[in-house]
Amino acid sequence: MWFTPPPRMVAREDALPGRTQSMPVPERHFVLGTPLLPPFPECEIAWFGMGCFWGAEKLFWSHAGVRSTSVGYAGGYTLNPTYKEVCSGRTGHAEVVQVVYDPTLVGFEELLRVFWEGHDPTQGMRQGNDVGTQYRSTVYCEESKLALVADTRDTYQRTLARMGYGAITTELQAAGPYYYAEPYHQQYLAKNPGGYCGHGGTGVSCPVGVGKTPG
């Protein structure tokens, strides 16, 4: 019986170099009609990786208080990577959703609930049948928000463990460069309603407020 080793992150020195030219970006969100490029006045931004970014983006653009979403690549080394390069495993990037939200209408903690419940964060370098480092579970945000992310992770871990799941493998980091994916990827499932999604989650609820530890 053949054994296929799990995907491994590429080392910085072995990553593809990329290019200085950035990806063209559509002017407006296909569903919301809002800008895809900054500035985003009076809004905050977070980036979530939870497997194939097509279905992940749809989870967030449908949520009240979210002003704009886009899909792209983050957490790696290659400058302005292409989709083909990211899928090669030689850029270090994860497929992510950029979520631009109005904090007066939706809190970051609520977005974390959508994130945790929207995928299985225990699968390592994969999500379902999608296997590769680009499909790993990630949260990139302001450094000041990382403690809240970690709190929700730890409490959700206890909930998942009671249901028989293993350790959460989600990567938590302060946000670095974000590179927009090719235009055809943006709001893909709105343009292609019958397109592949691949998201299901664990079915285990993560109530808002799970990260708040009593004083």
Active-site pick, 52, 87, 141, 206: 52
Nearest to 85 by CA among 13, 136, 23, 18: 18
Q: Quick one: tokens of 12? A: 């910085």
Nearest to 199 by CA among 2, 55, 11, 21: 55
Q: Quick one: tokens of 126? A: 């994969």
Q: Quick one: tokens of 80? A: 């302005």
52 part of the active site: yes
Q: Which residues participate in catalysis according to the annotation?
A: 52
